[in-house]
Each structure stands twice: as structure tokens, then as C-alpha cells.
């Protein structure tokens, strides 16, 4: 747990994928550690935010955590494979949403991607930069806004309706 940018960059770069699977995804120890750090943060008049990057498409996470103990904000980035015989990304996503709602003190966001595009990951991570106490509910969040070229007509305030001709 650090606010030092360089140590964070080094930690992220040190992450690597393994082919060994433990078979379970118990988030209880993560939540326990985060709660401990959150108590120390509160003593310093700070809040703690945990960003979980979850990459298992076939293993639903679980946890044993009290409902009334919300000491930190949890954000989730879920990167998954396409649905298949061994993959159930929707069930995993639903379990992650349940965990987020169960433990997050302030508005936690969850983002998912099955494309593996770095651009998507960077966009989602930039959306997590907002302070948890100033966030709107994720369902009300319509970012990023679509980038559309405005036609010369719309710039002049003229009619934006699209007229479709059905004549042959």
C-alpha cells in the first residue's frame, strides 16, 4: 500500500500471468488486509481505495465478510476471455458486483473487457481516477462520451434529423 507512483509502476510491471491455477478465488484475505490498512488511513484522515484486477473467466470469487463492515472503497477491473464451455464470464462478473456492493464504503466502479485491448484498459483505469466520495453511481455515469464529428449544418443550428429516402 503506497502513494508512491514509482513503486506502484514497479509493482504493476512485476505482475505476470501464470498457468498454475489454485482453483479458488477467496477474496477474504484481501478484504481483511484492506480493512486493516483502511483503519490506519482513517487515523491519518485519509480513505483507502483498493483496485482489484481480476482475470479469471472460469472461477467465481467468493468471500466471508461482514455486511456492516465497509471500511474501504473497492474498484474492480475484470479482464476475461470470451464465453465458452469452460468460461462463465457473466457469472464471475455477477459475483464481482456482489463483492463490490458488499464491501465498498463509497461508490465503487466495476469495468469489464473481453477484448484485451490496452486502449480499453487505459480508458477504464483513467475513469477510476475520480475520488470515490465525488462519484456518481456507475449506472448514471455516461463516460466516455462518444466522439462524433459535427456536421456544418448542426454547427449552424439547423435541423439534426436524418431523413431516409425509401424510393427506388
- Residue 130, helix vs strand vs coil: coil
Give the pLDDT score at 153: 42
Residue range 11-21: average pLDDT? 71
pLDDT exceeds 80 at position 144: no
Is the model more confident about 147 or about 40?
40
Question: Tell me: the pLDDT tens digits for 121-130?
Answer: 666 666 667 6
Question: Tell me: the pLDDT tens digits for 58-108?
Answer: 899 999 999 889 999 999 988 888 888 988 999 999 999 999 999 999 988
Give the pLDDT score at 18: 65
Burial 95-116 (b: 16+ CB within 10 A, else e): bbbebbebbbbebbbbbbeeee
Structural domain boundaries in the chain: 22-133
Nearest-Å Rg of the Cα atoms of the chain is 21
Q: d(Cα 70, Cα 100) in Å, to the nearest integer?
A: 10
Provide the whole-model pTM. 0.66
Of 80, 30, 36, residue with least CA distance to 52: 30
Amino acid at each position: 500500500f503506497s502513494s508512491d507512483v514509482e513503486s506502484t509502476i514497479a509493482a504493476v510491471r512485476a505482475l505476470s500471468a501464470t498457468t498454475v491455477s489454485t482453483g479458488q478465488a477467496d477474496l477474504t484475505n484481501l478484504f481483511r488486509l484492506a480493512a486493516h490498512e483502511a483503519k490506519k488511513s482513517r487515523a491519518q484522515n485519509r480513505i483507502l481505495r483498493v483496485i482489484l484486477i481480476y482475470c479469471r473467466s472460469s472461477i467465481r470469487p467468493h468471500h466471508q465478510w461482514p455486511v456492516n463492515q465497509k471500511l474501504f472503497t473497492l474498484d474492480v477491473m475484470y479482464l476475461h476471455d470470451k464465453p465458452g464451455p469452460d468460461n462463465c464470464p457473466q457469472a464471475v462478473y455477477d459475483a464481482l458486483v456482489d463483492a463490490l456492493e458488499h464491501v465498498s464504503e463509497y461508490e465503487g466502479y466495476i469495468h469489464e473487457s473481453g477484448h484485451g485491448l490496452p486502449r480499453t484498459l487505459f480508458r477504464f483505469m483513467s475513469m477510476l481516477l475520480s475520488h470515490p466520495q465525488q462519484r456518481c453511481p456507475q449506472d448514471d455515469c455516461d463516460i466516455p462520451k462518444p466522439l462524433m464529428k459535427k456536421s456544418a449544418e448542426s454547427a449552424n443550428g439547423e435541423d439534426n434529423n436524418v431523413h431516409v429516402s425509401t424510393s427506388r
